[in-house]
Structures are given as structure tokens and as C-alpha cells.
Amino acid sequence: MCKSCVITTEEPNWWLTPPAEASCFIGGIEQEPSAERANGWDREPVVATAELVTAATAHLARQSGPTLVRFADPAGLADWVASLLLRDRLLRPERPLGLATGRTMEPVYAALARQVNDLPPAKRQELRKRWCSFNLDAYVGLDRADPRSFAAEMASRLTTPLGLDPERVHLPDGQAADPHAAAECYAAQLAATGGIGLQLLGLGLNGHVGFNEPPCEADASCRCLELSPATRHQNAEAFGGNPEAVPGRAISLGLREILAAERLLLVVTGEAKAEVLARALREPPTPELPASWIQLHPRALVVADGAAASLLDASRDQGESLA
Ligand code: GLP
């Protein structure tokens, strides 16, 4: 049976100290919550190889899976996630921050801009000086200045409001004549930094993370790939509601780079994502549901609103495991 608990503000690790109104579920194994178990941040990150995936999958039954923090209040969720990003940049600047785009992240970046604005000027300067981020993905064929591009989205939601140097906000080059070479170049650029520290992730309705469309193996690396009809449909809003107008290809970090991050922070909101989130956390990891690979990561945190976590709550009520 799954144990549920509230991590209190006495929790020694700032990283996993949700406000009192949030519920924190430690999925899978019934045990007393402890700082070590709750955050798990002291363990080594995953480097995805076929062997490791096989071994880790075999061990899953004995592991408790990602930690889920649920917020009833979406504004509280955005504020807390933003504060994690901010603390990551101020306290752990050695490795770059991995960023995501999408509607889920809009209130997060708005909250981050407010929090940065509230910083003392010296801290704000420090943040700007230390900033380094790598976005997950970019459409192929869209000009950076095109308002529908992820580069434009990051510029308007992050770079400009935070006063960041655009050179420190990295995205794949979707305009490159050879997007396959651009993907390799992006992976090399990221590798040269030592890889992602904290990776922010959204969740696609079909279970994608970044643009890793199903089926996707856990060791898939950064590449240029075809977008599925489901994803083009999901993202059509920014293209006048026409899925055909959504670019057919994208460059995306792969599960390899994502799982190699020190920490994962998956943010999921809205009822429409409830089923895919429950499957991603409860079903055995599978290429058919790329987000399910995050179960293999020792330091994965899932932050969801009540609507997105509704099926996980149901499983708890029925005494089932979350993992
Ligand atoms: C998009 C992006 C992802 C994003 C996800 C969820 O297609 N490639 O990085 O996190 O799908 O998007 P949204 O938050 O709009 O639902």
C-alpha cells in the first residue's frame, strides 16, 4: 500500500520543501519519509545504456519511484516550481539548467520573473552572471524571430523579463541547413558543460517529454525527429489551430541527455494529462510512453495540480502503489 505524507518545513533539504498546503506522496514502498528517501538527491545520476535500463527496470519493483508533490492551487504550484528554478541557479550554478516550453510552463516563467524582480539588485546581477540554460527542443524550419518558435517564446517569457544575456539561453538551432548536424552540435555543446543539473520537463498528451515521441528508447540521444500527428494537433493552437501548419520536424534532447541530468522536475497540470501521468508513473517503463522512463531516475520529482494528479489520488484511495 502506498504511504502518503506531508513533508514539513522542517525538511532539511530546501529542494524538497513544498509549502504546507501541498501534499507529498512517496510512491511505491511503504516506509517512513526521511530526508534521504524523500529527496534521494544524494544518489548518482543515471547514465542511460541498454544494460542499465534492463537492470534498472528489473529493480523497479523494489524501488519507490518518483516523488509526487500535488498542489490544489495552480498559482501555488507555479510559484513553488519557479522558486526551485531560482534556487537552482543561485545555489547550483555549476551545471546548466534544462528548460522546457509549452503552456504548462507559462505561469512558471511568469512567477520566476516576479521572483527575480523581487530579488535584491546584487542577487539579480549574480543570477544574470551565473545563468546558463539549455532548452529541450526547437521546431525545425522556424526562424528564431518567428513568434511561434521556442526561441521567441523563451525570449519573451524568460530572457527579456529576467534581463538575461541571450548568449546564456541556449536552444537547438532549428533554422540550420542541416538539422541533424545541428542536433549533434547541440548535444556536443551541452556535453562540454558537463550535462544538465536540474531538468524541467513538461508532459505531452501522448507521453512525450521534450519532443521524444513514442516509441522512444531510454538511450535515444539528441536528434532531429519527426513529430507525430498527435503532437502537431496538441500544439496547433500557436499555429492558428491548424495541425498541418505545425512544423513536421524538431530537434530534441533525447532521453539519454534527460536521464543523465542530476535532477528531474516534471510539471503536469490539467485534467487532460491525468491519464497519461498516471500511466507514466504506474506502468512499467516502456518506449511507448517516453515519460515513463523517468521512473528509472533516482532523483525525479513530479509536481502536479489536483486535476492532473486525480487518477493517482484514486489509486491511493484504492490502496495501490503509485510507482
Ligand atoms: C510540447 C513540448 C514539450 C512540452 C510538452 C507539453 O510539445 N515539446 O517540451 O513540455 O509538449 O506542452 P504543454 O505544456 O503545452 O501541454
pLDDT, one tens digit per residue, over 197-248 is 999 999 999 999 999 999 999 999 999 999 999 999 999 999 999 999 999 9
Catalytic residue set: 137, 206, 208, 213
Instruction: Give the position, in ligand 1's atom list, of the atom nearest the Cα of 273.
Output: 16
What digits encode the pLDDT tens for the residues 127-144? 999 999 999 999 999 999
**Ligand 1 neighbourhood includes 102 CB (under 6 angstroms):** yes
Cα 73 to averaged position of ligand 1 atoms, centre (Å): 21
At 276, list the grid cell. Answer: 497519461
Is 172's C-beta closer than 6 angstroms to any atom of ligand 1? Answer: no
User: How far is residue 208's CA from residue 216's CA, in Å, rounded to a whole number?
Assistant: 9
Residue 276's closest CA among 217, 208, 218? 208
CB 84 within 8 A of CB 78: no
Nearest CA, atom 9, ligand 1: 210
175 backbone dihedrals φ, ψ, rounded to 5°: -95, -5
Q: Tell me how far the alpha carbon of residue 208 lies from the centroid of ligand 1, in angstroms.
A: 8
Cβ of 202 less than 6 Å from ligand 1: yes
Task: Give me ligand 1 centre to Cα 150, in Å.
Answer: 11
Decide if pLDDT at 266 tops 90: yes
% of the chain surpassing 90 pLDDT = 68
- Out of 81, 101, 237, mutate this one to test ligand 1's pocket (max ligand atoms within 8 Å of CB): namely 101
Residues whose CB is less than 8 angstroms from the CB of residue 56 and which lie 6 or more positions away in sequence, other chains included = 46, 296
> What is the SS3 assignment for 109?
helix
Of the candidates 260, 250, 273, 264, the one whose C-alpha atom is nearest the C-alpha of residue 302 is 264
Ligand 1: does its nearest atom lie under 6 Å from the Cβ of 59?
Answer: no
Residue 23: what pLDDT? 54
Tell me: pLDDT of 1 over 50.
no
Distance CA 308, CA 311 (A): 8
